[in-house]
Amino acid sequence: MYVFYEDCIGLPVATIRQQRFRPFGQHQPDLSIISDHSAIITWLSFQIQNISQSQTAEVLFNAGRQGIIDLYSIRGIRLQRTGTYLIPYNLRQWQPIRLRVPPRQTSTYYLKITNLVRVVDPIVATLHTPVSLKMWFADYMYLNRWLTLGLLGLVVGLLFMSLFAFSQYAFNRDRIFLYHAIFCLLGSLFVVWNTNYRLGLGLPLQVHSITANLASTLTIVYILFIARFIDLPVGFPKTWLPLQFLVAVLVVQEVVHIYEYFYGLLFSVSWPYTHQNVTFVLAGLLLFVSTFRSDSPFRRYLLGGMVCLLVTGFFSAFLNQRLETGDAVQQIRVNFTPFLYGLGFLSENFFFLMALAYRNRLIEVEKNHI
């Protein structure tokens, strides 16, 4: 097994055959290093020898959870395509690379692996029989059982909060409940979207390793919610102006995300994607400082929710920290970034619900005095 990394544009197999390959066990790429190019293309070259005198060898090749995997013959003919970027991505129906070698022959293959901006999982090279592959799937799902239940609990909790906020909006027509309901609903969809990618649920939701699905729309609703809660346009007009600019940038980002969802990435360089979180961070900082400086009676609840999201979600995403434990199940659960985000959403919205309840109480007291 040999590997070649320096392909940034998708060279043809005829050109790849002339490149210098290195042993697969050496010089594995560092997953913490982000590529300068939006497309990361890795080629594997390997041979399968069938020493049987009469039987055709049929084996399954597993390269790990990669974006797009293309199998080519030595003549450059594409034999198969699979990967997690294909719709729908179903773990149980996922097609591994199937290799057929006639008796007493040796076949050479080239495997093209394409990921976007960053390689999420390391590239592996494992041969399976159908039985061993089923056992691998069973072990994978067993290791993720608690993560699955945790993600399901987050989705149910956020949906329940969303339904409650929608009911309150239908009752009193206060837009702040509408913003909160939409925020909780989008948070639950965010968790479902990423759960589909991690566990292969088969939902028609495509996830690239760089796209922040729904993140821009989530941030826009978040800005509108906090701004209305603390009356930010009136109390902090100088802060409201840059926030309006950030909302415009977020709208553009969401339009770009929708386009790329259907037609692929717009940029060949990686920096527009690696820096797309800057708008989220700036909006969060402006809202946090404005809330901290405000004299709103709900300030404690709002700040408590913001801190929850900051601690649980951004710890992994922005500090790039990974918790090392001796328990494989625990390590899978705590290092899955969307799970941390979902936990942050749920904790934050719990505080927001308390703020909304306190707000309703103050409104009722004011009405009674009148």
* pLDDT tens digit sequence for 235-294: 899 999 999 999 999 999 888 888 887 777 888 887 888 788 888 889 989 999 999 999
Do residue 68 and residue 201 come from a single domain?
Answer: no
Do residue 163 and residue 221 come from a single domain?
Answer: yes
The two tokens of residue 23 are: 């042993």
pLDDT computed for residue 209 by the predictor: 52
If pLDDT is split at 50, 70 and 90, which confidence band does 207 have?
A: low
Q: How far apart are CA 232 and CA 342, in angstroms?
A: 27
Do residue 334 and residue 244 come from a single domain?
Answer: yes
Short-list 225, 219, 227, CA closest to 179: 225
Q: How far apart are CA 151 and CA 149, in angstroms?
A: 5
Provide the CATH number for the domain around residue 52.
Answer: 2.60.40.2380
- Tell me which H or E stretch contains 355: helix 337-369
Do residue 86 and residue 172 come from a single domain?
Answer: no
The residue ranking higher by pLDDT, 12 or 90, is: 12
Q: How many CB atoms lie within 10 A of CB 209?
A: 18
Do residue 15 and residue 68 come from a single domain?
Answer: yes
The residue ranking higher by pLDDT, 31 or 10, is: 10
Q: How many CB atoms lie within 10 A of CB 240?
A: 17
The two tokens of residue 170 are: 């239908």
The two tokens of residue 111 are: 């495997």
If pLDDT is split at 50, 70 and 90, which confidence band does 49 have?
A: confident
User: 153-182 burial by CB neighbour count: b if 16+ within 10 A, else e?
Assistant: ebbebbbebbebbbebbeeeebebbbbbbb
Laid out side by side, the sheet with 39-50 consists of 22-23, 2-7, 39-50, 105-116, 68-73, 78-82
Percent of the chain with pLDDT over 90: 18
Do residue 115 and residue 210 come from a single domain?
Answer: no
Q: Pick the last residue of a domain from 68, 103, 137.
A: 137
Domain with 361 in it: 144-369
Q: How far apart are CA 212 and CA 338, in angstroms?
A: 11
pLDDT single digits (tens) 142-176: 877 888 888 889 999 999 999 999 998 988 888 89
Do residue 179 and residue 133 come from a single domain?
Answer: no
Q: How many CB atoms lie within 10 A of CB 362?
A: 12
CA distances for 52 relative to 59, 60, 65, 70, angstroms: 14, 17, 31, 27
Provide the CATH number for the domain around residue 254.
Answer: 1.20.1070
Do residue 204 and residue 113 come from a single domain?
Answer: no
How many structural domains does the chain have?
2
Q: Pick the last residue of a domain from 119, 137, 155.
A: 137
**What are phi and psi for residue 123, nearest 5 degrees?**
-80, 130
pLDDT single digits (tens) 62-109: 887 788 888 998 888 888 888 877 765 555 555 678 888 888 888 888
